[in-house]
Structure 1
Amino acid sequence: MRGRWALGRLAGAGLAAVLAVTLAGCGGSSGSGGQAGGSAAKGAPVKLMIIAPTGTAGTNYPEMVGAARAAVRAVNARGGIGGHPVVLEHCNEKNDAATAKRCAQQAVDDHVLAVVGEVSGSGGIMPILQNAGIPSIGSAGVSADGSELSSPISFVVSPLTFYPAVCPSLLVKAGARKIGLVGYDLSASDRLITMAEGGGKATGHPIDPKLRVPITTSDFTPTVSQLTRSGADGAVLVVFDQAAYAVISRAGQQVRTCHAAGTLSPTFLATLGPAADKVVVATAFPELSQAAQFPEVARMVHELDAEQAAGDADAAPAVRTSTSTTNAWLSVQIAEKVGNQVSGDLTAKNLLAQLNRTHHLDLGTIVPPLDLTTPTPIPGAERIFNATMRGARWDSASKSFVPLDTESYNGLDILRRAAS
């Protein structure tokens, strides 16, 4: 199964504090790595680890592992980090809470420099890394305990947590005039729905109607009928992927819909034909097809191609995604750029200290410069250092997501405007 950022995880612990404060007006298996590619570095090797599930019956992220390997291969070709060749380990957390904690302990036992691109829904990883002073760079921010969003050793660069706040802006940009919402009648959904309400207020398009359905709903015909009867021609979706597909299929060309990138499968959307052409998504990074406009995307694709040519099927184009592939690749870039600034021994603790001193991290145009010295002023979500998102739309002709426009949207700024 292809990896997806799950809605339930996006609505996990920590988001209640995000919403409450922002809208109130806040101003394992052992590693499979080894040294990826030949190295021009001469120092003692240092280790990075990626923790992500692969080969399970649940959500899997092989593209993240392939992207991390590709990035490390290129880092070593450039001379390593601070002159040290890099060895990448992959610990498969297998979508299992106990295994996830064992992966974290393995990172400690192996004295890794940093964990890069971690994704685990169970939680429990950050406390172990924190006790050892090991930074986690580019975690997905989807753990059930919310620790990825709050631990002082965590540096989150993918802001999909804020997708409902951005969706109203994307729907308006796509041509919607009246925006509704379809969400579950669960308390966990309240957090995301409040974000959508803030996004609607900030764009001058209040969310109406807000349709709450039981999580067991399978027939969304009445729901779509309610949307269309209300005059809504756009809808923010706060439902799981299968329910989202049902709404999209029923809505067809009548209602534009918006969800988080990585939640909807391109394979399934392709089966809907033109009925899916009204789908837009909030995404953390540019599309892979935008390599001509974003030099860093072009470099990433080149490095992935080199990794695939070396025999790594996890780097193949068929498994790449703009969301999770780019997140893992960027995580290694951050480790490299900040690691090159470390004075003294290149250790996890010294890297963590340097990360906490980094206030203008230039990663090119793929994301805005990152200030890692200033946590987000939102209890429970302090460690999200990039709030900028983009829009993409589904194109049934190419069977892929394409850029919606050239604009970027800051999810936190949208929520602050709503609170003002």
Structure 2
Amino acid sequence: MAGVALLAGCGTLPGGTDGTTGPIVVMTWAPQNTNATNMPGMPAMAKTYAKYVNARGGIGGRELKVITCNDHNNSLGAGDCAERAAEEGAVAVVGSYSQYGAAFTSTLEAEGIPYLGGYGITRDEFESPLSYPINGGLPALMAGAGRQLAGKCDKVSLIRPDTAAGDIFAHFLDAGLRDAGRTSAADLRTAEDATDYNTVSRQAIGANKPGDCVSAALGDKTATFFDAFRRTTTTDPVTGVEQGPKARIASVLGSVQQSTLDSTGGANSPLEGAYITGWYPPASDTRWALMRNTIKRYAFGDNDLDPNDPGVQTTWIAYTALTAVIEKMGKDQAITATTLKRALDAAHNVSTDGLTPALGWREQDAAAVMEQPRLVNGWVTFQKVENGRLVAARKGFVDVTKTLEDATG
């Protein structure tokens, strides 16, 4: 592995002697077939993007070769994927998802391999000097959720997984609430692989007041929680009549997406009326047209590829950014992990066709967020569920960078 890394750093790639010929090798990883959150659409999107860009002549005339890896949603698997990226001569890891940042960043840093466009679920993605994020991660989503709910709720309860990644949810949600003069949310934890949410549903309902809000960020289990929540009843202390929850509900993109609504009843879904905070425009936005057309043409019938999936969207944006950066390097420039890192470090005003603000990873592009020195995009979108569809609740992006800075300052 060390020998491969040394050659990559000196400008050598498989298929070429100086990094100017042969394919551009990258890796995309994500958990698949686990009992927790799965993201099979991300590696599927990576392979589909490669078909799309190679059909157009590659990137700068070079073939894009995508290697995929299953991190199995554990630290050993994440570390194995990082080691495999080095062994196979990948010049970058692109558009990937793993909850185990500490298990893969150390290997990537040692091998000098950039990590471009991670899903944004771990702190390591916003700390590692080899990480180039394209969104504000879970901190931005939670801070945005606090901002979105602050004007609608007297009290907020947060239901989140009892994991290291989940530990930051309440902190940033509270920061968004405080920005609007609201008090902190009730932090209710549950096991990541829980199957029974009756107890935590009763805790979330509490006094069952109409001004309350319940926000859940449980990944694939979010709809299951809200189904249990909807069926939980309390007894009116005055009339003695059984009544359902009166609280408004909310979540973040990734825990809720269009496929979630479709599979749980559409307009009759337990998530109908929910407020959702996302990184990107709603899936119905016309800016996703190229991605949708690419999926239809090059991955028709692939059930893993849902264009409404934020993981798929993240991978698409990451590869869009990768292509833009490499094309600016020029056809005669060697493409290695080292040269790509230099290009990313100097990148500014990188277009993602309006799916995010223009990106850049120069020092002056970074926000002043302690413990997140790599954060360059603190913008989110406010969405809601209407008639079983995710639609914009507010036009355009909302900048929560100041909220993130205050939360860690």
Q: TM-score range by the shorter chain?
A: 0.7 to 0.9
Could you tell me which residue of structure 2 aligns to residue 342 of structure 1? 329
> CA-to-partner distance for each residue in 1:316-351, whole Å, 9 max, x for gaps?
xxx333411110011111111101122531111101
Could you tell me which residue of structure 2 aligns to residue 65 of structure 1? 43
Could you tell me which residue of structure 2 aligns to residue 81 of structure 1? 59
Residue 207 and residue 110 in structure 1: after superposition, are their counterparts in 2 closer, same or farther (change >3 A)? same
**SS of equivalent to 2:347:** coil
Give the drift of 1:247.
Answer: 3.4
**SS of equivalent to 1:401:** strand
Contact 1:209 1:227 in 2 (8 A): no
Instruction: State the Cα RMSD in Å.
Output: 3.1
2:161, 2:313 → 1: CA distance?
33
**Structure 2: gaps of 5 or more residues:** 1-19, 234-243
Contact 2:190 2:200 in 1 (8 A): no
TM-score, normalising length from structure 1? Answer: 0.76
Residue identity in the other structure for 1:152 = P
Q: Percent identity?
A: 20
**SS of equivalent to 2:208:** helix
Could you tell me which residue of structure 2 aligns to residue 117 of structure 1? 95
1:406 to 379, 382, 395: 395
Matched, 1:228 2:208: yes
1:128-277 to 2 correspondences below 5 Å: 128-143=107-122, 146-162=123-139, 163-171=141-149, 176-183=152-159, 191-204=168-181, 206-207=182-183, 210=186, 212=188, 218-220=198-200, 222-229=202-209, 232-237=211-216, 241=222, 242-247=224-229, 250=232, 254-264=246-256, 265-266=260-261, 269-270=264-265, 273=268, 275-277=270-272
Contact 1:288 1:301 in 2 (8 A): no
Contact 2:144 2:176 in 1 (8 A): yes
Equivalent pairs, count? 363
Residue identity in the other structure for 2:400 = G
Matched, 1:280 2:275: yes
2:320, 2:266 → 1: CA distance?
36
Residue 75 and residue 256 in structure 1: after superposition, are their counterparts in 2 closer, same or farther (change >3 A)? same
Matched, 1:304 2:295: yes
> CA-to-partner distance for each residue in 1:76-123, whole Å, 9 max, x for gaps?
233322221111111222224323222212211221121111212233
2:66, 2:293 → 1: CA distance?
19
Matched, 1:333 2:315: no
**Structure 1: gaps of 5 or more residues:** 1-41
1:147, 1:373 → 2: CA distance?
18
Residue 249 and residue 165 in structure 1: after superposition, are their counterparts in 2 closer, same or farther (change >3 A)? farther
**SS of equivalent to 2:381:** strand
Give the drift of 1:224.
Answer: 4.8
Contact 1:248 1:276 in 2 (8 A): no
2:354 to 360, 365, 375: 365
2:104, 2:214 → 1: CA distance?
35
Give the drift of 1:250.
Answer: 4.5
Give the drift of 1:138.
Answer: 0.8
Contact 1:361 1:371 in 2 (8 A): yes
Contact 1:284 1:390 in 2 (8 A): yes
Residue 212 and residue 308 in structure 1: after superposition, are their counterparts in 2 closer, same or farther (change >3 A)? closer
2:126, 2:47 → 1: CA distance?
25
Contact 1:169 1:200 in 2 (8 A): yes
Matched, 1:314 2:304: yes
Give the drift of 1:360.
Answer: 1.6
